[in-house]
A and B are shown apart, each in its own frame.
Chain A
Amino acid sequence: MTETVPMVRAENVHKSYGHIEVLKGIDLEVSKGEVFCLIGPSGSGKSTFLRCINHLEKVNAGRLYVDGELVGYRQKGDKLYELKDSEVARQRRDIGMVFQRFNLFPHMTAAENVMEAPIQVKGVSKAAARERAHHLLERVGLGDKARNYPAQLSGGQQQRVAIARALAMDPKLMLFDEPTSALDPELVGDVLDVMRDLAESGMTMVVVTHEMGFAREVGDNLVFMDGGVVVESGDPREVLTNPRHERTQSFLSKVL
């Protein structure tokens, strides 16, 4: 394991919007096959960091690598070249993302949502994409909802379709941006079950979450962020039960 390239490597990542610095130098590593949880108060920069990983946000300083490849730029000598849109798109193909607000395509059925990217991006045939979509919807427990439009599904069902949609591109890395924060409490469990199955299948996952139970149970590594820096990191069970840092303690005392 020590020889392999980490799936995600962040070196001194900075990000600011105008004068407001959201990320103030993030260093971390996510190994292949691990479930990496990011927790912290809102505004701590954890979602922003997640969005930097697939270049939805541009990093201002530092380097970010996914599977050994620099995200969004090409380095030649000591010069950095911005990647063309098509090259950025190619990098994103291998990174699945699940959003807090699902962002399903409302004018397409559940199956069409899942089929869209494989057909449009990978050039998969419609029949093959359809078969795969039904298989994936089956896997997230929605085999009977293939023909439903997103508006006809509950939040939990929509989020599971969104997970199936991301999986359809066979990503090597999955990013989850507070996947259960917009859900009714009783629907959270279904989504977490799907994520747990995914973790067991060996998928590398970076999860921004407020579900401490999930982090403790499924997470291999946990990072607590606050004010744009990593405050504390380590084994989730260790950090959540015996936080060393004062800010981690006060945060956890409020959410647990």
Chain B
Amino acid sequence: MTDDIDKTAGPAPAPAAGPEAIRAIPVRHYGRYVSALVAIGLLGSIVWAFSQGRINWGAIPDYFFDDRVLEGVGKTLLLTVLSMLIGIVGGVLLAVMRLSKNPVTRAVSWFYIWFFRGTPVLVQLVVWFNLGLVFEYIVLGPLYKDEWSDFMTPLLTVLLGLGLNEAAYMAEICRAGLMSVDEGQTEAAHALGMSHSKTLRRIVIPQAMRVIVPPTGNEVINMLKTTSLVSVVQYAELWRITQDIGQVSGAPVEMYFLAAAWYLVMTSILSVGQYYIERHYAQGSSRQLPPTPWQSFRSTVLSVSSRKGAQA
């Protein structure tokens, strides 16, 4: 039992007196220089064309940090976070229901996904908004009674519309994740006497996360952009507010560019967050995780400064 094969130790140190290292002249990639020039040229001409257009670019920085715009950005983020929460919780539930042994929950889940994935989210939003035609009052036993139109605030309409639609998509993502976990994992957990729910929570879901997180990041970014649709039900988020400002200030097109820039800023920040969440769930999957950009930046700076130190 003594001669373990130890894979944890690093590679054996290279022999001291090895053969001379090869110094060869690398292949020149002229195609790369040419394609870089073409790409830069195209980009430059597009930028030039836009700068010559009849667009008052100066209006954008004027309004970029306008209080109304910032409020719209906040509302957009709020909508994204809350509807994704509804979507993720609902999606996990639906996926578990879909994979359960109970035929009733399986059918309910199938029907839900069929309906919400099969109709446009814009249509769903408008239907939620007008549901007062069907239900005049909302009554929760003796606890609560109100008119539907008072109960169904624009925020609630929008959250239900976006969140319930998202749940259908998240359900499919979660289902794929749960199914990606090797069946041997469930068997091993069951053989140890773990219950179905503990097996799911402790063994299967943590491993499924590795498959679930990347497309979920995609969904978050998608959701952030989809929130712009809710302007149709009178909810004032970034897109609606920039449109309103555009109407009043007489610079409507400029405000579209402003909105686009804000959406880009927000999605860029979300992408960075996604990268770190993916790393977290990669635990134990590969022998060594590649360094984060920050880590490689730091190690580069440190090695440069230590080299300088050595020269001094």
B203: nearest residue on chain A (CB-CB)?
A105
In this complex, the member of A89, A109, A141 whose beta carbon has the largest number of chain B beta carbons within 10 angstroms is A89
- Assess whether A92 is in contact with B196, with CB atoms less than 8 Å apart: no
User: Which B residues touch A99, using CB under 8 A?
Assistant: 184, 187-188
Considering the complex, which residues of chain B in the window 286-301 have a beta carbon less than 8 Å from any beta carbon of chain A? 286-287
* A89-B195, A108-B284, A190-B1 known; A148-B188 Cβ under 8 A: no
- Assess whether B207 is in contact with A166, with CB atoms less than 8 Å apart: no
B282: nearest residue on chain A (CB-CB)?
A107
* A154-B7, A156-B5 known; A106-B193 Cβ under 8 A: no
Considering the complex, which residues of chain A in the window 42-59 have a beta carbon less than 8 Å from any beta carbon of chain B? 54, 56
* Interface check A124, CB cutoff 8 A: no
- Assess whether A93 is in contact with B193, with CB atoms less than 8 Å apart: yes
User: Which A residues touch B207, using CB under 8 A?
Assistant: 105-107
Encoded as 1 (CB less than 8 Å from any A CB) or 0, chain B from 177 to 202 comes to 00000101101111111111010001
* A93-B193, A165-B192 known; A103-B7 Cβ under 8 A: no
Closest CB in chain B relative to A65 CB, distance in Å: 18
User: In the assembly, what is the distance between CA of A181 and CA of B190, in Å?
Assistant: 22
* A86-B195, A165-B192 known; A56-B284 Cβ under 8 A: no
User: In the assembly, what is the distance between CA of A76 and CA of B193, in Å?
Assistant: 25
Closest CB in chain A relative to B187 CB, distance in Å: 6
* A99-B187, A103-B185 known; A116-B192 Cβ under 8 A: yes
User: Which B residues touch A189, using CB under 8 A?
Assistant: 1
Closest CB in chain B relative to A157 CB, distance in Å: 7
Closest CB in chain A relative to B201 CB, distance in Å: 9
Q: Which listed residue, B189, B195, B284, touches A107 by the CB 8 Å rule?
A: B284
* Interface check A149, CB cutoff 8 A: yes
| Number of residues of chain A lying within 8 A (CB) of chain B | 46
Closest CB in chain B relative to A108 CB, distance in Å: 7
* Interface check B271, CB cutoff 8 A: no
* Interface check B4, CB cutoff 8 A: yes
- Assess whether B191 is in contact with A151, with CB atoms less than 8 Å apart: no
Considering the complex, which residues of chain B in the window 87-134 have a beta carbon less than 8 Å from any beta carbon of chain A? none
Query: Chain B's interface: helix, strand, loop or mixed, by majority?
Result: loop
Encoded as 1 (CB less than 8 Å from any B CB) or 0, chain A from 57 to 78 comes to 0000000000000000000000
* Interface check B311, CB cutoff 8 A: no
Closest CB in chain B relative to A113 CB, distance in Å: 9
User: In the assembly, what is the distance between CA of A158 and CA of B39, in Å?
Assistant: 52
User: In the assembly, what is the distance between CA of A149 and CA of B196, in Å?
Assistant: 24
Closest CB in chain A relative to B41 CB, distance in Å: 47
Q: Which listed residue, B5, B190, B192, B285, touches A166 by the CB 8 Å rule?
A: B192
- Assess whether A151 is in contact with B4, with CB atoms less than 8 Å apart: no
* Interface check A95, CB cutoff 8 A: yes
* Interface check A146, CB cutoff 8 A: no
- Assess whether B191 is in contact with A148, with CB atoms less than 8 Å apart: no
User: Which B residues touch A141, using CB under 8 A?
Assistant: 1, 4
Closest CB in chain A relative to B283 CB, distance in Å: 6
- Assess whether A117 is in contact with B184, with CB atoms less than 8 Å apart: no
- Assess whether B193 is in contact with A169, with CB atoms less than 8 Å apart: yes
- Assess whether A154 is in contact with B5, with CB atoms less than 8 Å apart: yes
- Assess whether B286 is in contact with A151, with CB atoms less than 8 Å apart: yes
- Assess whether A120 is in contact with B202, with CB atoms less than 8 Å apart: yes
- Assess whether B284 is in contact with A151, with CB atoms less than 8 Å apart: yes
Considering the complex, which residues of chain B in the window 4-42 have a beta carbon less than 8 Å from any beta carbon of chain A? 4-8
Q: Which listed residue, B190, B191, B198, B285, touches A106 by the CB 8 Å rule?
A: B285
Q: Which listed residue, A85, A103, A145, touches B195 by the CB 8 Å rule?
A: A85
Please list 18 pairs of residues, one from A and one from B, whose beta carbons are closer than 8 Å in the complex, sorted by A's number: A93-B192, A101-B184, A103-B185, A105-B185, A107-B283, A109-B284, A117-B189, A121-B193, A149-B284, A150-B284, A152-B8, A153-B8, A154-B6, A154-B7, A157-B5, A162-B188, A187-B5, A190-B4
Instruction: In the A-B complex, list the 4 residue pairs whose CB atoms are closest, starting with the nearest.
Output: A93-B193, A103-B188, A149-B284, A117-B192
A residues near B (Cβ < 8 Å) are 54, 56, 85-86, 89-90, 92-97, 99, 101, 103-109, 116-117, 120-121, 141, 145, 148-154, 156-157, 162, 165-166, 169, 186-187, 189-190, 193-194
